[in-house]
Amino acid sequence: MRTRKGAKSTACKDLLTRISAYLDGELPAPACRAIEAHCRDCPGCAALTEGLRRTIGLCQEAGRTPLPDAVRERARASVRRLLNRRPQGGSGVTAPSRSRVPRAGR
């Protein structure tokens, strides 16, 4: 990712501006091929791209894992406490006293 004297190359900067769209599959094929070619020649950008790809995969996997009931109930209780707090100074919107947080995946 670095050229002489630590300056980022134009190709590296371009990759950084388009990495999200690339990983989300939103770029046209020629742009994807250009990024992939750059990553073959730039170990820093290759590592960044692969690291982000793995992070996205882990986040997706974690989102599919159901929370244990005890954790879900603690989270709901925390949300209820936060929603039922009265704002300081008497201004703002307050939540109804019996707020219901929907259960995910049920």
Query: In this predicted model, what pLDDT tens digit does every residue of 79-90 receive, in sequence order?
Result: 999 999 866 655
The CA dihedral of 70, 72, 77, 83, to the nearest 10 degrees, is 170
Contact 9, 1 (CB under 8 A): yes
Residues 21-45: tens digit of each pLDDT: 999 999 999 999 999 999 999 999 9
Residues paired with residue 2 on neighbouring β-strands, in sequence order: 8
Global pTM exceeds 0.85: no
Widest CA span of the chain, in angstroms?
A: 62
**Model confidence at 7, in pLDDT bands (50, 70, 90)?**
very low
